[in-house]
Amino acid sequence: MEFGPHLLLATLEGAVGAAVLALTALGLSLVFGVMRVVNVAHGEFYMLGAVVAWFVASAMSAHPAFGFMAAVLIAPAMAGLVAILADRLVLKRLHYDPEATIVATIGILYIMQQTALMTFGPEARPVAPPFNTRIPLPWLEYGENGFNLFYPWGLSTTSYKLFVIAAAAVILVSFALFLSRSRFGLIMRATQLDRETALTFGIPVERVYSLVFGLGAALAAFAAVLIVPIQQAHYLMGADPLLLSFIVVIIGGLGSLRGTVVAALLIGMSDGIISVFFSPTLAKILATLLVALVLVFRPQGLYGKKRA
């Protein structure tokens, strides 16, 4: 009973990371897919979600579950509104020029980061989880007398971590259904495929862009609300999710929902497992190496389509 149980624990930790990463990367992928905008400020919308979650949770004095529930509703909405404002005030005026928007979103990144520093401050602050029961992990091992159940055997996870995984899965499935079944999903996919033809069929492309940018930011903020009871809010916390999201989106293939989820699982899980058994640095090295290999051998990503 040495390697196996620890692998189980590392896998669970990795799954939490993968779940949050899938949501964040999905937002980035959506914005790039539909708008062709590389949103360098994506990590800051994640940070905004965490910071707003802290403000909301600390303003509510009732049970932590109420604060958390309020944060789940308010933080993504706030991030979405800020994103829509940024789209209207900045991106639209640049006519969504691919290069200009990169520079512009770098600017937005610093504005958001410094605003957070001035209001929220430089400290890392926790948000209390709504529930946090320790759940000891069971382990089965085949021995002389058939299967032996070890329970509890020392290591455990928490109910909140399992909730994070489940919540992310629910959002991902709902989002896939929203994209494939709803009217707005159809409009988004049509806009992504051919902006000009979408216009000639009455689709208000600029309004779609605003909503997509808002939706992308809201997904990142929601991911941050989920993680903030585990990791604490900090004004510089956006850098890692941004880097990992880019890695995921490149590996998965831009604009592919399935690719994003598969790559997030791959990167998130391997990050968790390798970090437990070796070192976090090695995990990042391998992820970056994987990006390089994908770019060399399959530039469109695992599920991406070759551009004609």
Least gap, CB of 299 to other proteins (angstroms): 19
* Smallest distance, other proteins to C-beta of residue 28, A: 20
When binding is defined by CB under 8 A, the residue of 3, 142, 201, 297 that contacts other proteins is 201
Decide if residue 177 touches other proteins (CB under 8 A). no
Q: Comparing C-alpha atoms, which of 99, 62, 271, 96 is closest to residue 195?
A: 96
Smallest gap from Cβ 307 to other proteins, in A, equals 12
Is residue 193 close enough to count as binding other proteins by CB under 8 A?
yes
Q: Is 182 in the site for other proteins (CB under 8 A)?
A: no
Residue that the structure tokens 């000891």 belong to: 136
Q: Does 205 bind other proteins (CB under 8 A)?
A: yes
Residues near 103 by beta carbon (within 8 Å), at least 6 away in sequence: none
The correct pick among 200, 297, 306, 307 for binding other proteins (CB under 8 A) is 200
What letter would DSSP give residue 148? E
Residue 279's CB: how many other CB atoms inside 10 A? Answer: 11
Residues contacting residue 41 through CB under 8 Å, at least 6 positions apart: 86, 105, 106, 108, 109, 112
Closer residue to other proteins (CB): 197 or 288:
197
Q: Which is nearer to other proteins, 24 or 256 (CB)?
A: 256
Q: Stretches 48-56, 57-65, 78-86, 186-194: which one binds other proteins (CB under 8 A)? A: 186-194
Determine the interface stretch with other proteins among 18-26, 39-47, 160-168, 180-188 (rule: CB under 8 A).
Answer: 180-188
Distance of alpha carbon 165 from alpha carbon 241, whole angstroms: 17
- What DSSP assignment string belongs to 213-263? HHHHHHHHHHHHHHHHHHH-B-TTTTHHHHHHHHHHHHHH-TT-HHHHHHH
Q: Is residue 190 part of the contact set for other proteins (CB under 8 A)?
A: yes
Give the nearer residue to other proteins in terms of CB position, either 33 or 229. 33
Q: Which of 267, 32, 229 has the alpha carbon at shortest distance from 124?
A: 229
